[in-house]
């Protein structure tokens, strides 16, 4: 095989740009193992592409920059929220998260916004100054971590109180309600698929 012909074919550029089908990509990797000098060619292609990108870079508009920054913040919020809440969750860490991502919730009487979702898990930030009516879930396990306030929970006829740092899980197909004792109550409500 003529190595120079292989280099000039353009396949290494496609490899660097990750535009090759999986089989051809594997073939290039085999060639790199057989001919280590191809690594120098790949490095040169990477440097050339980076240089080209810098020379032809276009400064984004302020509107586009704001949209990108907002999307990064939303992505960060989602990534953070996918840590499931449980009885050992750090309330202060969650309050810092709320202050960063949902500052309006800190002054709200009533507020409900999704924090994040992934397959089988959804979390919602809830602030409520009104009681939560009876409900029963048939396909999700509900749990919640109280970030501030105090409430009375009644689960299947048994009542107990939760305040800052309190956590509870509601069994599947179990009637439950929440009464606000000292509010508003702020909580991370979590739904886990059955």
- What's the pLDDT tens digit per position in 25-66? 899 998 988 888 998 999 999 999 989 888 988 877 888 778
Look at the alpha carbons of 164, 167, 172, 175 in this order and tell me if their dihedral is positive or negative. negative
3 has a pLDDT exceeding 50: yes
Question: How many of the other CB atoms lie within 10 Å of CB of 86?
Answer: 11
Radius of gyration from C-alpha coordinates of the chain = 27
Q: Mean of the pLDDT values across residues 139-158?
A: 94
Question: How many of the other CB atoms lie within 10 Å of CB of 80?
Answer: 17
184 has a pLDDT exceeding 90: yes
Our measurement of the distance from residue 26's CA atom to the centroid of its chain's CA atoms, rounded to an integer in Å, reads 32
Chain segment 67-123, per-residue pLDDT in tens: 777 777 666 554 444 688 999 999 999 999 999 889 999 998 999 999 888 888 999
CATH architecture of 83-193: Sandwich (2.60)
Maximal CA-CA distance, the chain: 81
Helices (H) and strands (E) in the chain, counts: 6, 7
Q: HEC string of 110-127? A: CEEEEEEEECCEEEEEEE
Can you list the positions of beta strands (E) in the chain?
111-118, 121-128, 132-135, 140-155, 158-163, 167-170, 176-193
Q: Mean of the pLDDT values across residues 173-182?
A: 94
Give the pLDDT of residue 73: 67
This prediction has a pTM of 0.59
Task: List the structure tokens of 110.
Answer: 């009533």
For the chain, the domains span 3-55, 83-193
CA separation for the pair 38, 31 (Å, rounded): 8
Question: How many of the other CB atoms lie within 10 Å of CB of 179?
Answer: 16
């Amino acid at each position: 095989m003529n190595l120079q012909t292989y280099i000039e074919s353009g396949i290494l550029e496609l490899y660097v740009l990750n535009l090759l089908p999986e089989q051809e990509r594997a073939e290039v990797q085999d060639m790199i193992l057989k001919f280590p000098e191809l690594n120098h060619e790949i490095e040169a292609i990477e440097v050339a592409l980076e240089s080209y990108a810098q020379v032809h870079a276009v400064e984004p508009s302020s509107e586009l920059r704001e949209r990108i920054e907002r999307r990064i913040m939303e992505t960060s919020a989602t990534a953070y929220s996918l840590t499931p809440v449980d009885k050992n969750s750090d309330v202060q860490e969650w309050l810092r998260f709320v202050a960063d991502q949902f500052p309006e919730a800190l002054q709200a009487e009533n507020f409900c916004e999704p924090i994040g979702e992934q397959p089988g898990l959804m979390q919602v930030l809830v602030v409520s100054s009104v009681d939560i009516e009876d409900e029963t879930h048939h396909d999700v396990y509900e749990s919640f971590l109280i970030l501030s306030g105090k409430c009375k929970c009644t689960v299947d006829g048994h009542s107990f109180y939760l305040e800052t740092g309190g956590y509870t899980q509601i069994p599947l197909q179990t009637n439950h309600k929440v009464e606000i004792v000292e509010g508003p109550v702020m909580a991370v409500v979590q739904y886990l698929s059955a």
